[in-house]
Amino acid sequence: MKLIRTNLKDCFIIENSVFEDERGYFFEGFNQEKLEDLSGISFEPKQLNQSKSGYGVLRGLHFQLPAKSQAKLISCIEGEVLDVAVDLRKESESYKQYEAVKLNEKNKKSLFVPKGMAHGFLSLSKTAKLMYLVDEFYSPRHDYGIIYNDADINVDWGIDSEKIILSKKDSQLPTLKDIKLDF
């Protein structure tokens, strides 16, 4: 396991050690002790989520409000996604900045997104399946998000906006300047 620091504090890419032979492959997708030793961050998952999306599906940018904020460890187990984290912590040096990384079944990388960040992803393949661990249970009351094309954040999703497929809920999310956050 190798940690790659990003421009966002406490957000990092994990390069997993993969062991392949004629039978297939094996890798350890999560090891709490190694993660803490390498990052200094304690991450204790409470829930495992999985999603399946077709090409152009964009999910996000989502987060849970404080009291139920979630840190996430995201992996793409089939296909490819552009995975994005946005720093919403006002006191952070990287406030309103984002990190984008391609996760796919070939590179077997993971992205760790700490509490206080929004998360979203865009499916770049015909089918993309994600699995992610979160350290807090889903809370509908604390579920929130910001619109994927917020001009103050200006995420480069890498495809034409006409090809992006959003849920009704995600298409109606507010901009960052239209909400009050306290991370």
Q: Which positions are annotated as active-site residues? A: 62, 132
Backbone phi and psi for residue 163, each to the nearest 5 degrees, phi listed first: -90, -5
Minimal CA–CA distance to 44: which of 35, 56, 54? Answer: 35
Give, in degrees to the nearest 5, the angle at Cα 68 between 63 and 71.
55
Interatomic CA distance for residues 22 and 19, integer angstroms: 11
Backbone phi and psi for residue 84, each to the nearest 5 degrees, phi listed first: -130, 135
